[in-house]
Amino acid sequence: EIVLTQSPGTLSLSPGERATLSCRASQIISSNYLAWYQQKPGQAPRLLIYDTSSRATGIPDRFSGSGSGTDFTLTITRLEPEDFAVYYCQQSGSTPRTFGQGTKVEIK
């Protein structure tokens, strides 16, 4: 099983600042099948990024993904008020398709 470790656990930032979220895998993720999701309280997760760097439909270009192998990054260039949420990475290179434990982006 591939273990995904997200860091930091919590990121305290102000609107307009840049957010950099890390996701590190215990093994190489096949075909860079790494996705990022955003979840707000009481809501289902929303797909932001798939295949490491492709933005899902309707996702603003302030969200970007990068990385390869075992190290992946989600960057939010300028935080908007609606971006404060919990973010999860997920790998689909092997089964079980594991999630990271999440990074909470909170208002400073």
What is the rounded distance in angstroms from the CA atom of residue 61 to the CA atom of residue 64?
Answer: 7
Q: Cβ closer to another protein: 6 or 76?
A: 6
Largest CA distance in the chain: 38
What's the closest the beta carbon of residue 62 comes to another protein, in angstroms?
19
Q: Tell me how far CA of residue 92 lies from CA of 8, 29, 30, in angstroms.
A: 22, 8, 8
Least gap, CB of 14 to another protein (angstroms): 25
Query: Which stretches of the chain bind another protein, using CB under 8 A?
Result: 1, 33, 35, 37, 39, 43-47, 50-51, 56-57, 88, 90, 92, 95-102
